[in-house]
Amino acid sequence: MPYRIAHGQLDDDVRRGTTRKKLMAVRILKYTSEIIHLLTDQNLIQIMVDAIINSGPREDSTRIGMAGVVRRHAVDVSPLCRVNQAIYLLTTGAREAAFRSTKTIAECLADELINAAKGSSNS
């Protein structure tokens, strides 16, 4: 029974065309890890953790309004939202850097992660 479930899932993936995207994402991360290892001689996981810690927002603003008057008020960001937004910002920056460029997406993602881990303003 589990084989049929897995086989059915694989068939659905092939029909929808998502298998190549998964393979492409895995291949990009593989090349990114190799580039990071060559450039920094550090562990990819540690670089990713440092990059996510440094690039996540610490506070945000929300709208507080009464009787038609709306003001912005500073609030703290929850840890899960910080992680999600940091990953979104890192991947968006890498995608925009690779667009119409001679550098590959793996090279751009590696540069983005290394700069964010160092706390550089280039990230």
Structure confidence by residue, pLDDT tens digits, 7-39:
444 555 666 666 678 888 889 999 999 999 999
Confidence of residue 5 (pLDDT cuts 50, 70, 90): very low
Q: Which two tokens stand for residue 35?
A: 């580039």
Could you give the 3-state DSSP secondary structure of residue 66?
A: strand
Asked whether residue 65 carries a pLDDT value surpassing 50, the answer given is yes
Q: Which secondary structure element, helix H or strand E, spans residue 64, and what is its range? A: strand 59-66
Length of the chain: 123
- Closest Cα partner for 91 from 28, 5, 14, 11? 28
**pTM value > 0.85:** no
Confidence of residue 44 (pLDDT cuts 50, 70, 90): confident
Give yes or no for a contact between 44 and 50, defined as CB atoms under 8 angstroms apart. Answer: no
Average pLDDT over residues 30-50: 91
Confidence of residue 122 (pLDDT cuts 50, 70, 90): confident
Asked whether residue 51 carries a pLDDT value surpassing 80, the answer given is yes
Give yes or no for a contact between 59 and 76, defined as CB atoms under 8 angstroms apart. Answer: yes
Q: Which two tokens stand for residue 9?
A: 């899932």
- Closest Cα partner for 82 from 103, 51, 43, 112? 51
